[in-house]
Chains A and B, each alone.
Chain A
Amino acid sequence: MNAVVTPESSLARVRSQVLDAAGIADHDLERALAALMRGTVDNADLYFQVSRQESWTLEDGIVKEGAHSIEQGVGVRAMSGEKTGFAYSDELVVPALLQASAAASAIVRQGQQGRVQAWQPRSGHRLYAPIDPLPTLTDDDKVALLQRIDSEVRALDPRVKQVVASLAAAHEVILVCASDGAMAADVRPLVRFNISVIVEQGDKREQGYAGGGGRFGYEYFTPEKVLEYGREAVRQAVVNLDAVPAPSGEMVVVLGPGWPGVLLHEAIGHGLEGDFNRKGTSAFTGRIGERVASDLCTVVDDGTLPNRRGSLNVDDEGTPTRNTVLIENGILRGYLQDKMNARLMGTDSTGNGRRQSFAHTPMPRMTNTYMLAGPHHPDEIIASVKKGVYARNFGGGQVDITSGKFVFSATEAYRIENGKLGAPIRDATLVGDGPTVLNRVSMVGNDLALDTGIGVCGKEGQSVPVGVGQPTLRIDGLTIGGTGGDE
């Protein structure tokens, strides 16, 4: 049963949980912000975080370890033009807060105290229940869930030799208050299940992996759901037992729906983050309004999808998240902004100001990035390819923002010959150029899918949970790196 919680009462609850527990009163927040707002400082904020995480890991058919961690602290930031002063403390007490504020404000020369606006509680979305997911299953049931999936997966195929499964949950409570009057809180549950298997056949060994999760309790992981992940991990590993070397060179590539949307995250998403465009270091700098994709392509970043891993009620600067159109029918429409970069570029935050924790500074980051569905049936897309590659699943990717070059690594892929799927091919990296690759999209499927809730995005050493998605896509030329020779 979900209790009806208004944002205001959620804010009040978080204030009592985070601030009252630490003996921090309103006037202490005001003092800290006033200390930050010196001289030419335009904006300052305080970010309180209290989080608890747990993980349970099964290997060799037994739960080997349960782990639990508590992380809490406050990060304080002063911004003046393009300058940022930042300090944090993992002690939630008044003297530490004031000391951090003094250190952060040292970025600007001493000056008069600035003004702090009266706080106006921001009501964010209600995209997920403000629950603590850790106790949503008893510890006995967590252990039982892992043991059950281990024996079920081993029973699926005798070639399964090793199973590692894990269950993890985080309960993160954040509170932001800023000199511009923003005050917002968010209670962010996040759960995840992972399974990896090793299969053996003769002297061949392959690995398969699956998992999922989101912003809800452990009840999401029903026996059927968990078995679905197990089947998927075994299926991938077994497919790769018969894999042949991937070809090498430029080919027609069909990308499957869902997680292969990591293409959009790398090729497009990062290059549209406000910081790179403000600095002029992105291959997309100054290209708003230009054609960067075929007119079949519309790409959005949507932080407002209920219960998704990449969703947030408010971002880490207290701005409610949005659905931002990045590319509309092939035309570049918008950037992803946090407060600082929006201010410097004369626009508004799009609710994409995110940080790994109180010990890190916010940056423009993606939430759930995906391409909208198109007109083609996925079978029709594969049938259209005389010779090429169908990539169904991927590991990770990476992009060089400045040159626009990106890579992503296929973990499950097949040759396409005369419109039919052929032999599976070994792990292969695909490489392309962000500002031009989507111009080569010639067919877009009607089968939009989002990933299962496994994405982690890294930028400048900070990790945040994200989502990706796309329908099946045909790209008329992408370089693939295998050892199977030139095609």
Chain B
Amino acid sequence: MSTRTALSLQNGVVTLQEKVNDVLRLARQLGASQAEANASFGTGFSVNVRLREVETLRHQRDQGLSVTVWLGHRKGSASTSDLRPEAIEESVRKACALARYGAEDPASGLADADRLARNIPELSLYHPWAIDPAAAIELATTCEAAALDVDPRVTNSEGASVSTSESLRVYGNSHGFLGSYPESDHSISCSVVAAQDGAMETDYEYAVARDAADLPSPAEIGAEAGRRTVARLGGTKLETCNAPVLFPARVARGLIGHLLGAISGGALYRKSSFLVDALGKPVFASRVTIDEKPHLLKALASAPFDDEGVATTERRLVDAGVLGGYLLGSYYARKLGMQSTGNSGGAHNLVVHSTGETFADLLKTMDRGLVIADLMGSGVNPVTGDYSRGASGFWVENGKIQYPVTEITIAGNLKDMFEGILGIGSDVDRRGAVLTGSILLEQMSIGGS
């Protein structure tokens, strides 16, 4: 019988901690002055139901180990999905060999020992879902049926999916840090097609949560997918114009997302950001305040420590429009003469304060303009902030949605767009690392016929 290591989340912590410790020990033996290792294990499945029949059942099971070593300030990294001892040893040796070719870089190394998380708060991120594929298929079937039944113009489907996954991550480094926490993610999604006058449109709705008990009912999700899709039928092009633009919460998340890239250490250090030297300066309208809250219970981007073991902390990132901090890991923090902000690996729950209006209030304030349904393409220049993307949505007159529009572009510069924020809705979308309501912008260029 083979000595295969059957990992599970239950026995996984000890096994993965042992592997991390083995890596750190071996790195030291091979002459590394510093080392860190990440081991992870994940498992789950997803089902897709299309036109009321099961289409796919996918089982997922991932494992991986990565190691970084420093010889002085020279760095080398390696990773492997093969966790047998011989493969792990080969990876550590490879990382050491690569480090010999690296150049001496004084900023390179582990996070400073005094910044590492001392205790690991329980953030309620792990809620396994006791569901089997048969039950998941039933939920997906209910979800898709609700979408198909919403309107006779819903004629086809990409299907409804239900997925569940659990994962465990162990991080350790040669400062003596060893931390781990389990996580779960569950989701239900649905995408359908509606047709009218020979033209087809598609749209989708989804929900994702740490705890399946927090998911809305599959029928609600399906019905919303159906309604969204039908609403897009009959879209026309707009005349080219300048007008206010309302980003509904789910699209507004991406707008704030452009801030994240622009204030990350690497972009700032390389000066490939439109917000170079913006610290302490106004970058948003004064009505905008944004907090980073890494310890929100059950939130999707919560984490007790970052990718380097640095403790995450709550802070005000934007205060009345003024940028109060960057997103830094140790390396670029040193390069910029600053301190790590616990953001190696990204931002942890950016909470954009609402200015109190509902979505309907924002429509009224806008009076005449464009509501975005969907944005396409990657037309954002991170260096200059120039923004130009394909869009579809709805035209608004007298504070009310009039008709769908399609095949148009919206353009502006992110600096002007951030400064032109007129209101942030109370309809917060919590399905990602940015938690925001709908955002109304004063004006953008709309390209049409």
Partner-B contacts on A (CB < 8 A): 56, 59-60, 62-73, 82-96, 100, 103-104, 106-107, 139-140, 142-143, 161-162, 164, 198, 200, 205-207, 246, 248-250, 279-281, 283, 359, 361, 395-403, 405-409, 426-429, 431-433, 479-483, 485-486
The winner among A200, A206, A429, A483 for most chain B CB atoms within 10 A is: A429
Q: A91-B4, A207-B381 are in contact. Are A83 and B55 (CB under 8 A)?
A: yes
27 pairs from A and B in contact (CB 8 Å cutoff): A59-B270, A62-B104, A66-B102, A68-B98, A69-B66, A69-B78, A70-B78, A71-B80, A82-B53, A84-B56, A88-B61, A89-B61, A90-B81, A91-B4, A107-B56, A198-B271, A248-B409, A359-B62, A361-B56, A398-B378, A398-B390, A403-B392, A407-B409, A428-B409, A479-B407, A482-B445, A483-B445
**Quick check: B81 and A71 within 8 Å, CB to CB?**
yes
Residue of A nearest to B266 (CB): A59
**Quick check: A396 and B377 within 8 Å, CB to CB?**
yes
Q: How far is the CB of A19 from chain B (nearest CB, A)?
A: 15
Chain B residues closer than 8 Å to A73, beta-carbon distance: 81
B202 on the A face (CB < 8 A): yes
Chain A residues closer than 8 Å to B133, beta-carbon distance: 106
Q: Which of A65, A90, A249, A407 contacts B62 (CB 8 A)?
A: A90
Question: What is the bound-complex CA distance between A60 and B90, given in angstroms?
Answer: 30
Chain A residues closer than 8 Å to B448, beta-carbon distance: 249-250, 479
Q: Which of A103, A395, A398, A429 contacts B409 (CB 8 A)?
A: A429
Question: What is the bound-complex CA distance between A67 and B99, given in angstroms?
Answer: 9
Which residues in chain B, 390-449, are within 8 Å of chain A measured between CB atoms?
390, 392, 406-413, 445-449
Question: What is the bound-complex CA distance between A482 and B193, given in angstroms?
Answer: 31
The winner among B59, B91, B408 for most chain A CB atoms within 10 A is: B59
Q: A73-B81, A249-B240, A403-B202 are in contact. Are A481 and B95 (CB under 8 A)?
A: no
The winner among A281, A402, A408, A432 for most chain B CB atoms within 10 A is: A402
Question: What is the bound-complex CA distance between A254 and B226, given in angstroms?
Answer: 39
Chain B residues closer than 8 Å to A59, beta-carbon distance: 270
Q: How far is the CB of A291 from chain B (nearest CB, A)?
A: 16
Q: Which of B80, B193, B272 contacts A207 (CB 8 A)?
A: B272
**Quick check: B272 and A403 within 8 Å, CB to CB?**
no
Chain A residues closer than 8 Å to B380, beta-carbon distance: 427
The winner among B103, B133, B380 for most chain A CB atoms within 10 A is: B103
B82 on the A face (CB < 8 A): yes
Residue of B nearest to A479 (CB): B447
**Quick check: A67 and B77 within 8 Å, CB to CB?**
yes
Q: Which of A64, A139, A162, A400 contacts B271 (CB 8 A)?
A: A162
Chain A residues closer than 8 Å to B213, beta-carbon distance: none
B367 on the A face (CB < 8 A): no
Q: Which of A66, A83, A90, A103 contacts B54 (CB 8 A)?
A: A83
Partner-A contacts on B (CB < 8 A): 2, 4, 50, 53-64, 66, 75-82, 87, 90-91, 94-95, 97-99, 101-105, 108, 133, 156, 158, 193, 199-202, 232, 235, 237, 240-241, 270-272, 276, 374, 376-384, 386, 388-390, 392, 406-413, 445-449
**Quick check: A405 and B392 within 8 Å, CB to CB?**
yes
Residue of B nearest to A484 (CB): B445
Chain B residues closer than 8 Å to A86, beta-carbon distance: 56-59
**Quick check: A205 and B383 within 8 Å, CB to CB?**
yes
Chain B residues closer than 8 Å to A283, beta-carbon distance: 200
User: Which 8 residue pairs spanning A and B have beta carbons closest together?
Assistant: A481-B409, A407-B390, A66-B98, A62-B103, A407-B377, A429-B379, A409-B379, A249-B240
**Quick check: B81 and A72 within 8 Å, CB to CB?**
yes
Q: How far is the CB of B254 from chain A (nearest CB, A)?
A: 13
Q: How far is the CB of B82 from chain A (nearest CB, A)?
A: 6
Chain A residues closer than 8 Å to B55, beta-carbon distance: 82-84
Q: A68-B78, A479-B407 are in contact. Are A63 and B4 (CB under 8 A)?
A: no
**Quick check: A64 and B56 within 8 Å, CB to CB?**
no
Q: Which of B66, B235, B379 contacts A395 (CB 8 A)?
A: B379
Question: What is the bound-complex CA distance between A85 and B137, given in angstroms?
Answer: 13
Q: A206-B383, A479-B449 are in contact. Are A67 and B411 (CB under 8 A)?
A: no
Chain B residues closer than 8 Å to A68, beta-carbon distance: 77-79, 91, 94-95, 98
Question: What is the bound-complex CA distance between A66 and B66, given in angstroms?
Answer: 13
**Quick check: A428 and B388 within 8 Å, CB to CB?**
yes
Decide if the interface of chain A is mainly helix, strand, loop or mixed: strand
**Quick check: A409 and B377 within 8 Å, CB to CB?**
yes
Question: What is the bound-complex CA distance between A400 and B392, given in angstroms?
Answer: 11
Q: A70-B82, A85-B57, A480-B447 are in contact. Are A64 and B108 (CB under 8 A)?
A: yes
**Quick check: A280 and B377 within 8 Å, CB to CB?**
no
Question: What is the bound-complex CA distance between A64 and B73, given in angstroms?
Answer: 10
**Quick check: B407 and A66 within 8 Å, CB to CB?**
no
**Quick check: B407 and A431 within 8 Å, CB to CB?**
yes
Q: Which of A65, A72, A100 contacts B102 (CB 8 A)?
A: A65
Q: How far is the CB of B140 from chain A (nearest CB, A)?
A: 13
Q: How far is the CB of A338 from chain B (nearest CB, A)?
A: 14
Question: What is the bound-complex CA distance between A18 and B386, given in angstroms?
Answer: 49
Q: A70-B91, A246-B388, A249-B449 are in contact. Are A100 and B59 (CB under 8 A)?
A: yes
**Quick check: A479 and B53 within 8 Å, CB to CB?**
no
Chain A residues closer than 8 Å to B241, beta-carbon distance: 486
**Quick check: A198 and B272 within 8 Å, CB to CB?**
yes
The winner among A91, A200, A283 for most chain B CB atoms within 10 A is: A91
Residue of A nearest to B276 (CB): A205
Chain A residues closer than 8 Å to B232, beta-carbon distance: 403
Q: A63-B101, A161-B271, A429-B379 are in contact. Are A72 and B82 (CB under 8 A)?
A: yes
Residue of A nearest to B134 (CB): A106
**Quick check: A107 and B57 within 8 Å, CB to CB?**
yes
**Quick check: A106 and B57 within 8 Å, CB to CB?**
yes
Residue of A nearest to B76 (CB): A66
Chain A residues closer than 8 Å to B60, beta-carbon distance: 88, 359
Question: What is the bound-complex CA distance between A32 and B381, given in angstroms?
Answer: 50
Chain A residues closer than 8 Å to B4, beta-carbon distance: 91, 93, 95-96
Q: How far is the CB of A261 from chain B (nearest CB, A)?
A: 16
Q: How far is the CB of B225 from chain A (nearest CB, A)?
A: 13
Chain A residues closer than 8 Å to B103, beta-carbon distance: 62-64
Q: A248-B445, A431-B408 are in contact. Are A67 and B98 (CB under 8 A)?
A: yes
**Quick check: A429 and B271 within 8 Å, CB to CB?**
no
**Quick check: B271 and A427 within 8 Å, CB to CB?**
no
Question: What is the bound-complex CA distance between A441 and B87, given in angstroms?
Answer: 55
Chain B residues closer than 8 Å to A486, beta-carbon distance: 240-241
Question: What is the bound-complex CA distance between A475 and B63, given in angstroms?
Answer: 49
Residue of B nearest to A92 (CB): B82
Q: How far is the CB of A266 from chain B (nearest CB, A)?
A: 9
Chain B residues closer than 8 Å to A164, beta-carbon distance: 270
